[in-house]
Amino acid sequence: MALVRTLIDCDKEYAESVLPRELKDLYDGDLRFPASPPARPFVIANFVSTLDGVVSYEIKGKSAGSAISASDPADRFIMGLLRASADAVMIGAGTLLDVSAKGLWTPEYVYPDAKRLYADYRLSALHKPEYPLLVIVSGSGRLDLQRAVFRTPAMRAVVLTTSAGMDELARRGAPALASVEAHALSAGGSIAPQAILELLHLQYGVRTLLHEGGPTLFGQFLAAQAVDELFLTLSPQIAGRERDVARPAVVQGVQFLPDSAPWFQMLSVKQKAAYLYLRYRRS
Ligand SMILES: NC(=O)c1ccc[n+]([C@@H]2O[C@H](COP(=O)([O-])OP(=O)(O)OC[C@H]3O[C@@H](n4cnc5c(N)ncnc54)[C@H](OP(=O)(O)O)[C@@H]3O)[C@@H](O)[C@H]2O)c1
C-alpha cells in the first residue's frame, strides 16, 4: 500500500526504471536519476521544513529534523529511499552533532520497516555496496569519535577537513579507526564544494551524492551551483522566529540577489494527510 499519494509527476524523461515494484508501490511512482555529469557526482539534497521555512528549532535535544517532521513515517521512508539510491550521503559537522550518538546514515536506520526492500534495491537492482559511504565535512575536526558512525565496521566514514582538522582528528585517535578515513582538502578555512565533489568522484567513484545538510553546508553547495535536485518535505507546522534567535532555514550563511537566486523546476509533488513531499530540479 502506498505511503504517499502522487499529485503531480513530471519526471518522465529518463530511461528504464530499476526501482523494485514494492518500493514503487510505497512511493506511488518511480524514482530515477540522470547519469552523473562528467566530472562530479549528481547531487540530490533532502530537507524537511515547517510551513514557515524553519529546519531546526536550535533547542538542545530538539534540533534534529525529526522535531520538524514529527518523525512522519512517509518522510522517513523517502529519506531511506534516497539513502538507498545514493553512493554516498554527506552531512556537515553541525548536523552530526544534533543526531543521537547511536545515529547511522543507513537507509534502514530512518525507516526499519523497509530494510529488506532497500537492501534488495541497492544490491540487486543498483549493484551498489550494502551501505552508502558517509561523508562528514568538518573544518575544525572537532568530532566525537565515540559516535556509532565511527565505530561500525560495516560502514565507511570519510571525514573531509582542513590541515588543522587533520591534526585535531589525529589527536582524537581517528587513525586507529579502521572504517574511518580523513582527507585535508584545504589549508585552512572553508573547504570548496568543488574540491569535495572532485575527491568523491575520483577517489571514491561516487556517482550519486545525497546531501543531507545542514543549511550551512547546503548553502555553500547551492552557491557553487553544485546541487542538482532538492527533495523537500513540507511539514504542517509553524515554528516562528524571535527577532534575535536564529532558527535556520534550508540555506544558512549565504544569500542570493533576485537576479542570481537559483530557480528550480518541479519534478513531483506527493502528499500524505497535511504533509507535502516536493521534488525540484535546478533549472
Ligand atoms: N530539517 C532538516 O531537514 C535538517 C537537515 C539537516 C540539518 N538540520 C539541522 O540543521 C542544524 C545544523 O545546521 P548547520 O548549518 O550548523 O549544519 P551543518 O552545515 O551540518 O554544519 C556546519 C558545520 O559543518 C562544517 N562545515 C560546513 N561547511 C563547511 C565547509 N565548506 N568547510 C569546512 N567545514 C564545513 C563546519 O564544521 P566545524 O565547525 O567542525 O568546522 C560547520 O560548523 C541542526 O540543528 C540540524 O539538525 C535540519
232 strand-pairing partners: 47, 278
Buried b (16+ CB within 10 A) or exposed e, 152-181: beebbbbbbbbebbbebbeebebeebeebb
Hey, which of 47, 56, 135, 200 would you mutate to test ligand 1's pocket, going by the most ligand atoms within 8 Å of its Cβ? 56
The 3-class SS string of 93-151 reads HHHHHCCCCCCCCCHHHHCHHHHHHHHHHHHHHCCCCCCCEEEEECCCCCCCCCCHHHC
d(CA 211, ligand 1 centre) in Å: 11
Q: What does the pLDDT read at residue 21?
A: 96
Cβ contacts of 24 within 8 Å, gap of 6 or more: 17, 30, 31
CATH code assigned to 33-239+247-253+271-282: 3.40.430.10
pLDDT, tens digit, 9 for 90 and up, residues 220-242: 999 999 999 999 999 999 999 99
CA distance 139 to 92: 9
Average pLDDT over residues 251-262: 96
pLDDT band at 132 (very low <50, low <70, confident <90, very high): very high
State the pTM of this model.
0.97
Q: What does the pLDDT read at residue 13?
A: 64
pLDDT, tens digit, 9 for 90 and up, residues 166-202: 999 999 999 999 999 999 999 988 999 999 999 999 9
Residue carrying the nine cell digits 534540533: 63
CA distance 90 to 214: 9
* Cβ proximity of 130 and 122 under 8 Å: yes
> Which residue ranges have their beta carbon within 6 Å of ligand 1?
47-48, 55-56, 58, 63-65, 68, 91-95, 98, 137-140, 142, 190-191, 212-217, 220, 248, 252
Average pLDDT over residues 126-134: 97
Domain boundaries, the chain: 33-239+247-253+271-282
